[in-house]
Amino acid sequence: MLLAENGIVIDPRSVGPAPVDPSQLYDGPDPANVAPFPKFTPLPDLSTDKRSRPDYVATITAALDMLGARILALIAVIAACAMWGFAVYDPTQMRTYAAIGFSVSVLMPTVALYWRRG
């Protein structure tokens, strides 16, 4: 750009910040010089662990069985509420049939399983 009225000549390549040296762009170790993956040791044998007593394992298994039935029932009830809510909000014959089918084939057996397992 030439400023002829002031007699100043400016080179457009010299305006602005100085260029960045590519060696200054990364602050850390050389990416090509990566250490190998660490070696993993196998887990210790837990058969001698005092927590693996048969009564402890039986208690945990019973608790998970009971919780599993309750979580399945909770998911089925939430899904049925959503389906029936959508079927009531915008009723069509197919949505009503789908909600009835879901309630009969999924919700009722899940609730029966919930009642049976306590």
Mean pLDDT value across residues 46-56: 68
Q: Is the pTM of this model over 0.75?
A: no
Question: Is the predicted pLDDT of residue 1 greater than 50, yes or no?
Answer: no
Share of the chain above pLDDT 90, in %: 22
Mean pLDDT value across residues 35-55: 70
Other beta carbons within 10 Å of 99: 20
- Binned at pLDDT 50, 70 and 90, residue 6 comes out as low
